[in-house]
C-alpha cells in the first residue's frame, strides 16, 4: 500500500527535475550571451538618460525665458512651439520641472494642463497686488458735516434733516455700488475678498478662458469678471 505513493512522488520529482536540468544546461551554455545582453540594455538606458540630461540643459534657457514672459504659467504647447520639439517631449520636461520645483498643475478642458511656477519676483507681484488699497475719491462735504460747523439747528430743522438722511445715505450707497460694478474695476486682492477666495487663487485663474464663468459662480451677485493684462485690474462683464 505504501509503495504506490512513494512511486508517485518519485515520478513527480522526475517530471520537475527534467525541465530544471534543461534550464541549468541552457544557462551554463549561454551565460556569456545573457550577460552581454543585460549589460547592453543597462548601457542603453544609461546612454538615454545622459542624452536626456544634455537635452534638458539646452532647453533650460528657453524654459526660464518663458517663465519670465508668462509670469510663471506654462503649457506643453507653449514650450513645444518655442523649442520646436514634440508635445510629448515638452510634457515630460514640464512634469520633471514641476516635480523639481513643486509647481502647481491645473487641468482645464479648453487649455489642457497648465503649469504654474512661482518665482520670487512673481510672488512679489502677487503680494504687491494684494497690499495696496485704492484711494477713495474726495467726497464733497455733506449738509450734515456743514451743520456741525454751523450754529446748532433748531428742533424742527433737526427733525427734517433726520428724516431725509437715511434716504440720502441709501441712494448714495446704491449709486456708488452701481458705479463700481458698471464702470469701476477691482485689483486682485479686492476681487479675492469679493469672491471669498485666496488672492493666489485669483492669480492662478485670471488668464484662464473659463475665468468669467468661474468668477460668476463665486460672485455674491452673480457677476462675471475679466482680467485686463495692461492695467492689472479686473472689470465686470456686461450681460448681453
Rounded to whole angstroms, what are the CA distances from 81 to 54, 65, 112, 113? 20, 13, 15, 15
Q: Compute the distance between CA of residue 163 and CA of residue 48 in angstroms, rounded to an integer.
A: 84
Q: Compute the distance between CA of residue 87 and CA of residue 76 in angstroms, rounded to an integer.
A: 6
Rounded to whole angstroms, what are the CA distances from 194 to 61, 113, 197, 216? 39, 27, 8, 11
Phi-psi group of 178: left, alpha or beta (phi > 0 → left; psi -120 to 50 → alpha; rest → beta): alpha
Q: Compute the distance between CA of residue 189 and CA of residue 203 in angstroms, rounded to an integer.
A: 10
pLDDT mean over 215-234: 88
Of the pLDDT bands very low, low, confident and very high (cuts 50, 70, 90), residue 72 is: confident
pLDDT in tens, 96-106: 988 888 888 88
pLDDT mean over 120-149: 53
- Listed residue (36, 56, 103, 43) closest to 75, CA to CA: 103
Whether 132 contacts 78, CB under 8 Å: no
Between 25 and 143, name the one with better pLDDT.
25
Q: Is the pLDDT of residue 155 over 80?
A: no
pLDDT in tens, 179-198: 455 546 888 888 889 999 98
Between 75 and 9, name the one with better pLDDT.
75
- Say what the pLDDT of residue 217 is: 92
Domain 29-116, CATH: 1.10.10
- Say what the pLDDT of residue 46 is: 94
What are the cell numbers at 227? 482680467
Polymer length of the chain = 240
For CA atoms 55, 61, 62, 64, the dihedral sign is positive
Q: Is the pLDDT of residue 115 over 80?
A: yes
- Say what the pLDDT of residue 221 is: 87
What are the cell numbers at 49? 538618460
Q: What is the residue-averaged pLDDT of the chain?
A: 75
Q: Is the pLDDT of residue 107 over 70?
A: yes
Of the pLDDT bands very low, low, confident and very high (cuts 50, 70, 90), residue 169 is: very low
Of the pLDDT bands very low, low, confident and very high (cuts 50, 70, 90), residue 49 is: very high
Residue 239 phi/psi, 5° resolution?
Answer: -80, 125
Residues of CATH 1.10.10 domain(s) within the chain? 29-116
- Listed residue (50, 71, 171) closest to 114, CA to CA: 71
Contacts of 96 (CB under 8 A, 6+ apart): 56
CA dihedral 67, 68, 70, 76 (to 10 degrees): -20
Three-state secondary structure call for residue 130? helix
Amino acid at each position: 500500500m505504501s509503495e504506490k505513493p512513494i512511486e508517485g512522488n518519485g515520478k513527480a520529482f522526475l517530471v520537475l527535475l527534467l525541465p530544471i536540468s534543461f534550464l541549468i544546461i541552457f544557462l551554463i551554455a549561454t551565460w556569456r550571451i545573457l550577460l552581454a545582453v543585460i549589460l547592453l540594455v543597462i548601457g542603453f538606458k544609461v546612454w538615454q538618460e545622459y542624452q536626456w540630461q544634455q537635452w534638458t540643459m539646452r532647453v533650460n534657457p528657453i524654459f526660464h525665458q518663458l517663465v519670465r514672459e508668462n509670469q510663471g504659467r506654462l503649457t506643453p504647447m507653449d514650450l513645444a512651439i518655442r523649442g520646436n520639439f514634440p508635445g510629448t517631449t515638452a510634457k515630460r520636461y514640464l512634469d520633471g520641472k514641476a516635480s523639481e520645483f513643486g509647481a502647481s498643475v491645473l487641468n482645464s478642458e479648453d487649455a489642457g494642463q497648465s503649469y504654474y511656477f512661482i518665482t520670487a519676483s512673481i510672488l512679489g507681484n502677487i503680494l504687491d497686488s494684494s497690499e495696496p488699497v485704492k484711494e477713495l475719491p474726495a467726497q464733497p462735504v455733506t449738509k450734515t458735516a456743514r451743520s456741525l460747523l454751523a450754529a446748532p439747528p433748531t428742533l424742527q430743522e433737526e427733525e427734517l434733516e433726520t428724516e431725509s438722511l437715511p434716504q440720502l445715505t441709501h441712494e448714495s450707497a446704491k449709486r456708488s455700488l452701481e458705479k463700481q460694478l458698471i464702470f469701476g474695476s477691482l485689483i486682485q486682492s479686492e476681487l479675492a475678498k469679493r469672491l471669498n477666495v485666496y488672492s493666489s487663487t485669483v492669480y492662478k485663474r485670471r488668464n484662464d478662458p473659463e475665468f468669467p464663468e468661474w468668477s460668476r459662480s463665486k460672485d455674491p451677485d452673480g457677476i462675471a469678471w475679466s482680467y485686463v493684462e495692461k492695467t492689472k485690474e479686473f472689470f465686470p462683464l456686461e450681460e448681453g
